[in-house]
């Protein structure tokens, strides 16, 4: 079984995911061992590998974490990717890059809350909510829309939050709901979406 090692320690988002994905593409079947030095990179690489049909074992490594990713066969992964792509192409993405809409903060918060509450009333289709820039604050402790986001998540909506943005604002530890994501996953989500609605 062929093994490729990827040293992604010290690399900024989304490089650990990019390098791991590239290594997986280079083998028909085998193992990719990825070394990362933080929990966010660990979780992002693990999620990417599992989404591509691979099995992942996570352990403690030198100066961080070691992920052993096993790719069973290119045909199995390819079938998984094709099936996933068909679903992703129908996805509707709601993109929030601020914690309010428009130029008036007070009115803007009312609008955000109103729009989020209206989403479940629309014809159901696979939907995701992506939070970037100041929008990541919507998913943190004390947010005025936490209850609404919680209801959306429990009804099947996926919520992706930009990890780099959280780090910039130093509020990663305040996240209450959603999945802390990375630039590559967010760009793939936006690119593959059937439609993106930006607020």
Q: Looking at residue 72, which CATH number applies to its domain?
A: 3.30.110.40
Q: Which of 84, 111, 127 is the last residue of a domain?
A: 84
Q: What residue numbers bound the domain in which 19 lies?
A: 3-84
pLDDT at 115 over 80: yes
Percentage of the chain lying above the pLDDT 90 cut: 72
**In CATH, what number is assigned to the domain containing residue 147?**
3.40.1260.10
Domain end residue (candidates: 84, 109, 140) = 84
Higher confidence at residue 126 or residue 164? 164
My answer on whether 172 and 77 are in the same domain is no
Q: Give yes or no for residue 81 having a pLDDT over 70.
A: no
Question: What is the pLDDT at residue 2?
Answer: 87
Domain boundary among 21, 52, 84: 84
Give the whole-angstrom CA distance, residue 119 versus residue 121: 5
In the prediction, which pLDDT does 89 show?
42
Element (H, E) at 35: strand 30-36
- In this structure, the dihedral spanned by the alpha carbons of residues 152, 154, 159 and 161, taken in order and rounded to 10 degrees, is 110
pTM: 0.76
Supply the DSSP symbol for 120: G
Give residue 61's pLDDT band: very low, low, confident or very high (50, 70, 90). Answer: confident
Tell me what pLDDT residue 177 has.
97
Looking at the structure, tell me whether residues 187 and 124 fall in a common domain.
yes
pLDDT of the residue at 36: 94
pLDDT band at residue 124 using 50, 70 and 90 as cut-offs: low
3-state helix, strand, coil in the chain (%, to 5): 45, 25, 30
Say whether both 63 and 117 belong to one domain.
no
Tally of domains in the chain: 2
The crossing angle, in degrees rounded to 10, of helices 183-192 and 74-88 is 60
Largest CA distance in the chain: 59
| 191/111 same-domain check | yes
3-50 per-position pLDDT tens digit: 899 999 999 888 999 999 999 999 988 999 999 999 889 999 999 999
Q: Which residue has the higher pLDDT, 1 or 163?
A: 163
Rounded to the nearest 10°, the torsion over CA 58, 175, 111, 189 is -20
Residue 169 has a pLDDT of 97
- 74 pLDDT band, cuts 50/70/90, is low
Give residue-wise pLDDT tens across range 149-180.
Answer: 999 999 899 999 999 999 999 999 999 999 99
């Amino acid at each position: 079984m062929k093994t490729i090692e990827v040293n992604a320690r010290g690399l900024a988002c989304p490089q650990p995911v990019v390098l791991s994905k590239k290594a997986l593409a280079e083998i028909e079947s085998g193992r990719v061992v990825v070394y990362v030095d933080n929990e966010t990179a660990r979780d992002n690489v693990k999620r990417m590998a599992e989404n591509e049909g691979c099995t992942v074992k996570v352990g403690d490594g030198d100066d961080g974490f070691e992920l052993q990713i096993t790719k069973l066969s290119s045909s199995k992964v390819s079938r998984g990717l094709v099936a996933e792509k068909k679903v992703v192409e129908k996805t509707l993405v709601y993109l929030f890059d601020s914690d309010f809409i428009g130029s008036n903060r007070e009115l803007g918060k009312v609008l955000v809350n109103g729009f989020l509450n209206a989403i479940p009333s629309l014809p159901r289709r696979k939907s995701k909510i992506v939070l970037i820039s100041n929008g990541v604050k919507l998913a943190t402790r004390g947010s005025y829309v936490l209850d609404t986001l919680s209801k959306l998540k429990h009804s099947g909506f996926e919520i992706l939050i930009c990890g780099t943005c959280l780090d910039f604002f130093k509020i990663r530890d305040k996240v209450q709901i959603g999945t802390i994501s990375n630039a590559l996953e967010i760009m793939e989500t936006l690119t593959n979406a059937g439609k993106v609605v930006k607020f």
